[in-house]
Structure 1
Amino acid sequence: GIARDLAAAGIGTLKADPRQEPVTGAFDSPIGVTISSEIAANNAVPAFYGRYIRGVKNAESPDWLKARLEAIGLRPISALVDITNLVTHDLGRPLHVFDADKLSGDINVRYATNGEKIAALDNKEYELSDSMVVIADQAKALGIGGIIGGEETGCLEETTNVFVECALFDPISIAKTGRKLQVNSDARYRFERGVDLQSIAWGMEVATHLITEICGGEVSHVVKAGEVPNPRNSFDLRIDRILELGGVAVEADRAIDILKSLGFEVSGSAPVITAVAPTWRPDIIGEADLVEEVLRIVGYDKIPTVPLERESSLPVPALSPMQKRVGLTRRVLASRGLYETVTWSFTDSRWAKLFGELKEGLYLANPISSDLDIMRPNALINMIAATGRNQARGFSDLALFEVGPEFFGDQPGDQRLVAAGLRAGATTERSWTGSRRDVDVFDVKADAEALIEALGTNAANVQVNTDGAPEWYHPGRSAALQLGPKNVLGYFGELHPKVLKALGVKGRVVAFELFVENVPMPKKKGTARPALKASSFQSVERDFAFLLDESVKAEAIIKAAKGADRNLITDVTIFDLYAGKGIEDGKKSLAFSITLQPTKATLTEEEIEAVCKKVVDAVEKATGGSLRA
């Protein structure tokens, strides 16, 4: 390939390889070749050539051959093995040589039987299935077709008669077998990427020349099974497309010369020519590939540097608003003491089933491992598993987050961006002050609300729906965050014990999920900051305690108190919750403070009392509670 490119660029002339000239056989091969009907029907092995060579001497390779192999990091073994390695790496044509005296009858290309085993040349034994192609004789499998040969029929120093294999294999079949068996060989690497279809003929001749020149011997006629495909992939090339796609104007005659020198058969003339791809170029699939071939020889350095046109003199932002939002999300969560994790976008289907019903399209056709066989339907799964691994190593106090996609289908758009976090263990390290406490749902609720605020939405407007959390959260200890009845911003709460147990986590874990794309984008504002509205008057705080039903939410009290006088009341804070002795069953006492901030004049006692009365009336009306004496 390199020699052909150099010749096309005008650096020398491509020489014909004399080793590809046919060798006349002196006798009929005593070993025949057949391809099973199942293999032929699936086109798994389109063609198989073989040749018997008798009277060889498998001695040490000559110095020139050993030097070439050592130059690319290969260790010389013996002449017959070294020859197959040379042809594989030099010409991209894998071969295999059997010790003919170790074969039992003719060669048969067939599918393996389930459970059939073979000891390979890499000193490993492989158990095969009925989807794998094997090269076999009448007694057993000799090698895994197109991937690796068997140890039992390998060539040794005492080998005197050999049978040379040169075949074509289906790339997809080779890839599947190689992945199942985890075999990475030079033959597999080339066959699964596609070899020159005509190389089955000239590859046999090259191998024959090298074996007879180095090892001697007498050759038989070639035995053949199957037919060599001869696809004629023809593509039209509009000459002006070279300029349109590549940015370089190339004359038609120059383009035609380049393509011909690269092995294409070219017909027609400008403005449209037709090129037939050579058999060694299965990667040519369209007009753009022909443009690339021409440009590669002309030289990519000939492509002029052209600045992109701008609609204005102002630079275009490199990041979209959503991309900026992702970066802001990471900074906010990190500033709250959470450590960022970057986990796989796929997970274990056994875990994923705990997070809702799974669609068939989420399963991976070719997972990198058996425990990563499905796209993750929830971003918490891998973080929970990571928590279990940390606990097993003695790290029990954790605060983790991840910003990334989770998947709920196999169609475009069937994924969403989520910011998920979890906390486990205690909030602080052990201290003599005794201030250490375990994490709870309010810690992750604060994380979620802080993120909502940072993204430009007032967290006070977000409703907490205690009946809206999904089944992987603990019922009664979790909730959904919503803007209105339909827009769910996320969830927070304690994770369900069955989920934690399945993923190997001990103790309590609290978590949150925020769907970043569901949080409304802030309204566009001017570039100037709004004026600071600072008051020079003293603020006033007043405390209240109400007797309420246990079912009343603190959120209802806060909203009612703030709504009593939005001009003066700037903050409402819950500071005490009590139930027990002195409080009747089904009731609770909730205490809160309000902050009054005047802006025009210091408040009089009468004005303060009037606001306090409004607060009491508003809370009693909203909750049905009563002010405690």
Structure 2
Amino acid sequence: MKFTLSWLKDHLDTTASLGEITETLTSLGLEVDGVEDPAAALAPFTIAYVKSAVQHPNADRLRVCIVDTGKGEVQVVCGAPNARTGMKGVFAPAGAHIPGTGVDLKPGVIRGEASNGMLCSEREMGLSNEHDGIIELPDDAPLGASFAAWRGLDDPVIEIGLTPDRADCAGIRGIARDLAAAGLGTLKPLDETAVEGRFHTDLTVTLDFPADAASACPLFVARVFRGVKNGPSPVWLQQKLKAIGLRPISALVDITNFFTFDRNRPLHVFDKAKVQGGLSLRLSQPGETLEALNDKTYTLGDGVTVIADDAAVLSLGAIMGGASTGVSGDTTEVILEAALFDPIRTAMTGRALGITSDARYRFERGVDPAAVFAGVEQATRMILDLCGGEASQLVVAGREPDWRRSLTLRPSRVESLGGIVVPRERQQAILAALGFGISDGADGATVAAVPSWRGDVQGEADLVEEVLRVNGYDAIPAVPLPRMSTLTQSALTPQQKARELVRRGLAARGLDEAVTWSFMDGRDASWFGFQNSGLKLLNPIASDLDTMRPSVLPNLIRAAGRNAARGLPDAALFEIGPVYRDATETGQQMVASGVRSGQSGPRHWAQPPRPVDAFDAKADAIGALDAAGAPVANLVVSTDAPDWYHPGRSGCLRLGPTVLAHFGELHPAVLSALAVDGPVVGFEVFLDAVPQPKKKAGTAKPLLKLAAFQPVVRDFAFVVAEDVPADRIVKAAKGADKALVADVALFDVYRGAGLGEGRKSLALAVTLQPVEATLTDEAIEAVGKKIVAAVEKQGGTLRG
């Protein structure tokens, strides 16, 4: 929300400085996002007089001008066709920065003639796109004066970040009211007297809504004008609109824009000569179209609030008018419209059609329901003043909604909720200054009648908030929270600690953490087990974010695809967050998910790169489980991974019947549906399924225990059937003697001659770590026999 300081002072009688105003706005909850001071950028530009302008001796399109700046005379070479002797213009001296072009002026020589500064056009000044000639000023413009001050361009522009609940401050009047309540001046009164209609009009307005959509437009007020002249609006109005970034169009349109920002009262004008019959407020029919004022044509769906005549749709209610009935310089008869529109329907229509407008911004937040008639009367006076003509009597359809309500504020609630004692008289004075009707209630309470423009105030706590923010949040004393316990206790639960350990562990493995939406496109979700309609969003923020995510993998895969499209094909991403199986409380799971794509590891001269594979994902999953405290030594691998993984290149990590993780290469069909090139591998670790370690009494075990004796490494090669997992053989060897076998590692797999069809050889390196004494050959031989016997039970035979 933007406004100028002078515009604010049209409503607020104050002597406060700009700094005091901006500081007070922020303390009131209307946080100031920025202040622009155009006078600073235009400070070097002054009003000058062209004493002479003669043809350049060496250039047909240039003139050599002698310019009186008020402080002396300088020579300027100018190429503008309208540069002439005796005119007044805007002069920029050497050294000035030209905002429209970004150039810093320097003294120079142009085709043999010295030039010390320039005469400026509006585009060079950054005022408009006009550059056909230099700015021409009237003869009475004061020589040597600041152009910005003379033109009224030295007015600071303030921008506030408006929260959705403060719809009343979408108009400058509401901002001034808040500042007046905070003691920064007094609110100036408005003239809201009715304008008597001079004639009866044949215009009819009907509200043609079904019973279940009556709230789409409960009130519509129109007035017809005849004999108007729609020329350019006066300079003061154009300057106000330009200052906040609006382009002046014509007097009638500029008046409606003025009231949109000044009073938070969107209005619209129709050229009556282009309207066929009466106006009808109704819901659109599928397939109806509208060519809007933004030069775009929209095809409407079912249920859009429209304003139509007997022939076609003329306007989208609360959002944008149509080009077919737009006013022009030839307009002499006008229909002025002010109405109330349903905020929810307005927001849904604007989002569905992708239209953002100043009217939509205000209607979807809620405008003052009691200001419809006042807005028409105030706009009527301005139209008659600026465009002439005469106004008809009002044409009214519908009625004003019943917005009146009163709330009770107990004086003690300000202290109990806000932590500060504010006297009852002060509470009442604040609420009265904000427009609340104040009366005394039972037991010393205050009864506050809520004003029509404060639709956000619905309960006693809202009244407390109004008192606190106007009284000043800085006045609330800082009070330390009481210590509830003398013992130092961890603020994190074991589950929260485990997540942080997993986060660190995955980052240590070279994965980058990502944070993605908790929802996704339902088409993506369908590839990852989504079947529950209870997870469809009724009001998504975007059409492709309409489903609560059943898995984090689709978001990470798409992120990896975007990286690859930008020249970064080797992605390694992870995210820890919830996934959703159904809409119940138990349907949410905390999952650590990750993906890798491209090559595994950076390129290296000593070894060729290889594509990522399922074993990379398995290692990541085991690393996450280990960080979470799972007994990874007891994990069992099964091959029943979900359908979104590649069959035969994926698996599950189980602890008994409980699935702790999925891992593997993603299915090619899934990658194709997500428009990502493979291979891509991923994992999903279900943190809620990881068993919590049991607390045992006694002394803590040391983190590092070094043996005093030399370890012994022995290699074994076993022949097994092709379908026997290597993990089963490794675990069998490790369990043969738990006291001496410290580690078992698979270092070679052989398939080929000498083994037979459907057989493979697995080579294991077994590390024996003695604890009590150095191992003898007999002891090593005994352990070797145990290992062979354990593997034989799994179907393996020692390779000869």
TM-score by length of 2: 0.73
Partner of 1:517: 688
Amino acid at match of 2:682: A
CA distance in structure 1 between the aligned counterparts of 2:565 and 2:253, rounded to whole angstroms: 50
CA distance in structure 2 between the aligned counterparts of 1:406 and 1:337, rounded to whole angstroms: 24
Secondary structure at the counterpart of residue 397 of structure 2: strand
Q: Note the alpha carbon deviations across 1:303-354, whole angstroms, 9 max, x for none.
A: 1111222335677656554444333323322322334333333323223212
Identity %: 55
Partner of 2:348: 176
CA distance in structure 2 between the aligned counterparts of 1:395 and 1:266, rounded to whole angstroms: 65
CA distance 1:532–1:344, shift in 2 (3 Å): closer
CA distance in structure 2 between the aligned counterparts of 1:393 and 1:16, rounded to whole angstroms: 59
Amino acid at match of 1:463: V
Q: Note the alpha carbon deviations across 1:374-393, whole angstroms, 9 max, x for none.
A: 22211111233344455556
CA distance in structure 1 between the aligned counterparts of 2:578 and 2:353, rounded to whole angstroms: 32
Shift of the alpha carbon at 1:523? 4.9
Deviates more, 1:276-285 or 1:250-259: 250-259
Partner of 1:628: 799
Amino acid at match of 2:287: G
Partner of 2:455: 282
CA distance in structure 1 between the aligned counterparts of 2:573 and 2:212, rounded to whole angstroms: 56
Q: In the alignment, which of 356, 368, 376 is matched to residue 529 of structure 2?
A: 356
Tell me if structure 2 keeps the 8 A contact 1:252–1:270. no
Amino acid at match of 1:58: N
Q: In the alignment, which of 210, 217, 220 is matched to residue 48 of structure 1?
A: 220
Q: In the alignment, which of 415, 420, 438 is matched to residue 611 of structure 2?
A: 438
CA distance in structure 2 between the aligned counterparts of 1:257 and 1:377, rounded to whole angstroms: 53
Partner of 1:115: 287
1:201 paired to 2:388: no
CA distance in structure 2 between the aligned counterparts of 1:316 and 1:158, rounded to whole angstroms: 78
1:128 paired to 2:300: yes
Shift of the alpha carbon at 1:445? 1.4
Partner of 2:208: 36
Q: In the alignment, which of 580, 583, 591 is matched to residue 407 of structure 1?
A: 580
Q: Note the alpha carbon deviations across 1:405-454, whole angstroms, 9 max, x for none.
A: 32222334532222222333433455564543333322221222122222
Partner of 1:375: 548
Shift of the alpha carbon at 1:188? 1.1
1:158 paired to 2:355: no
Shift of the alpha carbon at 1:359? 0.9
Partner of 2:664: 493
Amino acid at match of 2:461: A
Deviates more, 1:191-200 or 1:99-108: 99-108
Q: In the alignment, which of 449, 456, 469 is matched to residue 296 of structure 1?
A: 469
CA distance 1:246–1:398, shift in 2 (3 Å): closer
Amino acid at match of 1:193: R
CA distance 1:257–1:470, shift in 2 (3 Å): same
Tell me if structure 2 keeps the 8 A contact 1:457–1:519. yes
Amino acid at match of 1:495: L
CA distance in structure 2 between the aligned counterparts of 1:507 and 1:137, rounded to whole angstroms: 57
Partner of 1:562: 734
Tell me if structure 2 keeps the 8 A contact 1:39–1:109. no
Tell me if structure 2 keeps the 8 A contact 1:33–1:223. yes
CA distance 1:122–1:257, shift in 2 (3 Å): same
CA distance 1:437–1:280, shift in 2 (3 Å): closer
Q: Which runs of 5+ in 1 are unaligned?
A: none
Tell me if structure 2 keeps the 8 A contact 1:40–1:46. no
CA distance in structure 1 between the aligned counterparts of 2:690 and 2:768, rounded to whole angstroms: 31
CA distance 1:74–1:312, shift in 2 (3 Å): same
CA distance 1:581–1:372, shift in 2 (3 Å): same
Partner of 2:592: 419
RMSD: 2.6
Q: In the alignment, which of 260, 269, 282 is matched to residue 97 of structure 1?
A: 269
Tell me if structure 1 keeps the 8 A contact 2:535–2:548. yes
1:538 paired to 2:727: no
TM-score by length of 1: 0.92
CA distance in structure 2 between the aligned counterparts of 1:340 and 1:289, rounded to whole angstroms: 40
Q: Note the alpha carbon deviations across 1:219-269, whole angstroms, 9 max, x for none.
A: 211111111112222222222111111111122232223223322233315
CA distance 1:104–1:151, shift in 2 (3 Å): same
Deviates more, 1:343-352 or 1:193-202: 343-352
CA distance 1:605–1:12, shift in 2 (3 Å): closer
Secondary structure at the counterpart of residue 49 of structure 1: strand
CA distance 1:496–1:101, shift in 2 (3 Å): closer
Secondary structure at the counterpart of residue 152 of structure 1: helix
Tell me if structure 2 keeps the 8 A contact 1:39–1:110. no
CA distance in structure 2 between the aligned counterparts of 1:451 and 1:108, rounded to whole angstroms: 64
Deviates more, 1:75-84 or 1:517-526: 517-526
Tell me if structure 1 keeps the 8 A contact 2:409–2:463. yes
Q: Note the alpha carbon deviations across 1:103-127, whole angstroms, 9 max, x for none.
A: 2222222222322222222222222
Tell me if structure 2 keeps the 8 A contact 1:252–1:269. no
Deviates more, 1:320-329 or 1:573-582: 320-329
Tell me if structure 1 keeps the 8 A contact 2:438–2:446. yes
CA distance in structure 2 between the aligned counterparts of 1:10 and 1:426, rounded to whole angstroms: 66
Partner of 1:261: 433
Partner of 1:62: 234
CA distance in structure 2 between the aligned counterparts of 1:459 and 1:231, rounded to whole angstroms: 64
Tell me if structure 2 keeps the 8 A contact 1:30–1:52. no
Amino acid at match of 1:503: L
CA distance in structure 2 between the aligned counterparts of 1:519 and 1:291, rounded to whole angstroms: 46
CA distance 1:324–1:95, shift in 2 (3 Å): same
Aligned length: 625
CA distance 1:253–1:581, shift in 2 (3 Å): same
Amino acid at match of 1:129: G
1:2 paired to 2:175: yes
Secondary structure at the counterpart of residue 647 of structure 2: strand
Tell me if structure 1 keeps the 8 A contact 2:576–2:593. yes
CA distance 1:270–1:260, shift in 2 (3 Å): farther
- Correspondence 1:180-191 to 2 at 5 A: 180-191=352-363
CA distance in structure 1 between the aligned counterparts of 2:569 and 2:355, rounded to whole angstroms: 41
Shift of the alpha carbon at 1:281? 0.9
Secondary structure at the counterpart of residue 279 of structure 1: coil
CA distance in structure 1 between the aligned counterparts of 2:653 and 2:601, rounded to whole angstroms: 27
Shift of the alpha carbon at 1:489? 1.0
CA distance 1:389–1:37, shift in 2 (3 Å): closer
Secondary structure at the counterpart of residue 301 of structure 2: coil
Secondary structure at the counterpart of residue 447 of structure 2: strand
Q: Note the alpha carbon deviations across 1:573-603, whole angstroms, 9 max, x for none.
A: 2223233322233433322122111222212
CA distance in structure 2 between the aligned counterparts of 1:156 and 1:492, rounded to whole angstroms: 66
Amino acid at match of 1:488: V
Deviates more, 1:340-349 or 1:52-61: 340-349
Q: In the alignment, which of 239, 243, 248 is matched to residue 420 of structure 2?
A: 248
Q: In the alignment, which of 655, 679, 688 is matched to residue 508 of structure 1?
A: 679
Secondary structure at the counterpart of residue 330 of structure 1: helix
Partner of 2:483: 310
- Correspondence 1:74-93 to 2 at 5 A: 74-93=246-265
